[in-house]
Amino acid sequence: MPRYIFITGGVVSSLGKGLASAAMGALLQARGYKVRLRKLDPYLNVDPGTMSPYQHGECYVTDDGAETDLDLGHYERFTGVPASQSDNITTGRIYSRIIERERRGDYLGATVQVIPHVTDQIKQFVLSDAGDVDFVLCEIGGTVGDIEGLPFFEAIRQLGQELGPENAVFVHVTLLPYIKAAGEMKTKPTQHSVKELRSIGIQPDILLCRCEIPITPGDKRKIGQFCNVRESAVIEGRDARSLYDVPLEYHRQGLDREVLRCFGMEDAPEPDLSRWESISTAIAEPDGEVTIGIVGKYVGLLDAYKSLIEALHHGGIANGVKVNLKWLDSEQFENDGPVEPLEDVHGVLVPGGFGERGVEGKIAAARFARERKVPFFGICYGMQMAVIEAARNLAGVDDAMSTEFSSEGTSVIGLLTEWTRGNEVETRSSDGDMGGTMRLGAYPAVLGEGTRVRDIYGAAHIEERHRHRYEVNVAYREQLEASGLKFSGLSPDGVLPEIVEYEDHPWFIGVQFHPELKSRPFEPHPLFASFIGAALEQSRMV
Ligand code: GLN
């Protein structure tokens, strides 16, 4: 049976709890243990699929088609363990299961209540389907004291009792604010946060204290005393130079040693951190830099593009260069044109997106990159816009558009109403539910012989993660190919265009899927590595 580590947050949100959990998982892995990470989200949406990226950041998609919290992206990138449907749950999902069972009569006349029914469901989720791992790390979203989080805290409190201290450890991530005017670090918010946690029956074993300056031994002692934890269990968590330095930093501060000590595993093997060290050096000592212009719609909140940003940095690591990102709101292009803002970039990337706002700007960006022969990477919506651009400006379909944003004109991109998943046919209609009904998760594609993508992947068959409702209409293939846009990757049945590229361009690729979701610092995704390589070439030319 695995041991459980519960990670909670206090004082404020955005303390990097997800990252801390991912780093903890990576450190245990470096000691030879098998880990699995899970996230419990106390909001009422069934999943984050219907939430605006402005509110909740990126929606991460797993191989098995779950739309999940972006923290699962951190977990995968740091541990390489693919997440699945069973690694993220929300209040909404729990309640919908309970209400379904209640309607079926499964509760046999009982009054259905938060305790025990909701808490039992949460416990069942935490314990189920863990597989053959040594540690399950379970992060609770939100902050202690939030009303909606209470059933989750109660459930993990009960689990702490049931599993026993030798099998369950509680880590609380908190903040030690630095008050400039007083020149002092303050421990009171942390004391209050722990008090709040203890009032609902949870005594943290470890405090991971986010702070700007080092914690003095005196403050560690004070925090330990007031919060009833060992002094050595007060761990300093200062901002790291890069995301991928976080495991090394937390190790230096003794986090993994303390976790193992709580489990009574003092004689655990020392970690092998060599791969983290080499990533850290690669990031700290780049040999050159490139600038990529990202033409999107949610540029006001960079969490909306979390995996994309990371994948671009992985591409940088693969080429030994630093990647600078220039964020551009595609709507701006609609008035001022793309030329001036894109003049100095070495590559243009149009990421995924939804809705009508800013589409013409994305189309203009694709045209700029095609005509100026600047490396171009179109992802999902970005690919669809590149196809519309080709249809309008090369293939003579002047009114080409997508049914996503117009009911008039020629729908080169149309609503996907039927597709196959393995041997099953999935069907959708235009008036169906929005939640969980896109083409989601891993689907195979076959790459054409002699194409650039086949060369980049070094394979003819690939599997990539999808999340979209619309699709390039394969009926336009011949017309588009005749004007130069090659359909270089298709679904195995040849019906769904997966990749397009121009042959007579230094690097112009559009993909219907989201390759950024599968990129890891240790295994940069081949498309991102190749794209940054092309941008590097471009930078040498200008
Ligand atoms: N809006 C497009 C669609 O639904 C693209 C989605 C995306 O970019 N993830 O097909």
The CATH number of the domain where 45 resides is what? Answer: 3.40.50.300
Q: Are residues 153 and 295 in the same domain?
A: no
Q: Are residues 344 and 483 in the same domain?
A: yes
Q: Are residues 176 and 325 in the same domain?
A: no
Q: Are residues 320 and 257 in the same domain?
A: no
Q: Which domain holds residue 170?
A: 3-279
Q: Are residues 176 and 249 in the same domain?
A: yes
What is the distance in A from the centroid of ligand 1 to the CA of 404?
A: 9
Nearest protein Cα to ligand 1, atom 7 = 352
Task: Report, as residue numbers or ranges, the catalytic residues.
Answer: 380, 514, 516
Residue type, 451: T
Q: Are residues 13 and 64 in the same domain?
A: yes
- Please, what sign has the CA dihedral across residues 446, 452, 457, 458? positive
Nearest protein Cα to ligand 1, atom 5 = 381
What is the distance in A from the centroid of ligand 1 to the CA of 221?
A: 52
Residues with CB under 6 Å of ligand 1 are 352-354, 380-381, 404, 467-470
Q: Which atom of ligand 1 is nearest to the CA of 470?
A: 10
Using CA atoms, how far apart are residues 165 and 230, in angstroms rounded to an integer? 15
Nearest protein Cα to ligand 1, atom 1 = 354
What is the distance in A from the centroid of ligand 1 to the CA of 471?
A: 8
What is the distance in A from the centroid of ligand 1 to the CA of 383?
A: 9
Tell me the best of 380, 411, 464, 516 to mutate to test the pocket of ligand 1, counting ligand atoms within 8 Å of each CB and taking the most.
Answer: 380
pLDDT in tens, the chain (542 residues): 899 999 999 988 889 999 999 999 999 999 999 999 999 999 998 888 888 877 788 999 999 999 999 999 999 999 999 999 899 999 999 999 999 999 999 999 999 999 999 999 999 999 998 889 999 999 999 999 999 999 999 999 999 999 999 999 999 999 999 999 988 999 999 999 999 999 999 999 999 999 999 999 999 999 999 999 999 999 999 999 999 999 999 999 999 999 999 999 999 999 999 999 999 999 999 999 999 999 998 777 888 899 999 999 999 999 999 999 999 999 888 887 888 889 999 999 999 999 888 999 999 999 999 999 999 999 999 999 999 999 999 999 999 999 998 889 999 999 887 777 777 777 877 777 777 788 899 999 999 999 999 999 999 999 999 999 999 999 999 999 999 999 999 999 999 999 999 999 999 999 999 999 999 999 999 999 999 999 999 999 86
Q: Which atom of ligand 1 is nearest to the CA of 471?
A: 10
Q: Are residues 453 and 486 in the same domain?
A: yes
Spacing of C-alpha 344 from chain mean position? 29
Q: Are residues 251 and 293 in the same domain?
A: no
Under 8 Å CB-to-CB from 252, ≥6 apart: which residues? Answer: none
Count H helices, E strands: the chain?
19, 25
How is the chain split among helix, strand and coil, in percent rounded to 5? 40, 25, 35
Bridging pattern class, strands 88-90 and 439-447:
unpaired
Instruction: Decide which of 257, 279, 301 is a domain's last residue.
Output: 279
Q: Are residues 306 and 455 in the same domain?
A: yes
Measuring CA to CA, which residue among 235, 325, 250 is closest to residue 280?
A: 250
Q: Find the DSSP H helices in 133-216.
A: 150-163, 188-199
Instruction: Decide which of 279, 299, 314 is a domain's last residue.
Output: 279
Instruction: Decide which of 230, 246, 279 is a domain's last residue.
Output: 279
Q: Which atom of ligand 1 is nearest to the CA of 379?
A: 8
Q: How many domains does the chain have?
A: 2
Is the pTM higher than 0.85? The answer reads yes
What is the distance in A from the centroid of ligand 1 to the CA of 537?
A: 30
Q: Are residues 377 and 395 in the same domain?
A: yes
Q: Which atom of ligand 1 is nearest to the CA of 469?
A: 4
Q: Are residues 300 and 240 in the same domain?
A: no
Q: Are residues 530 and 496 in the same domain?
A: yes
CATH code of residue 366: 3.40.50.880
Measuring CA to CA, which residue among 480, 477, 532, 485 is closest to residue 505?
A: 485
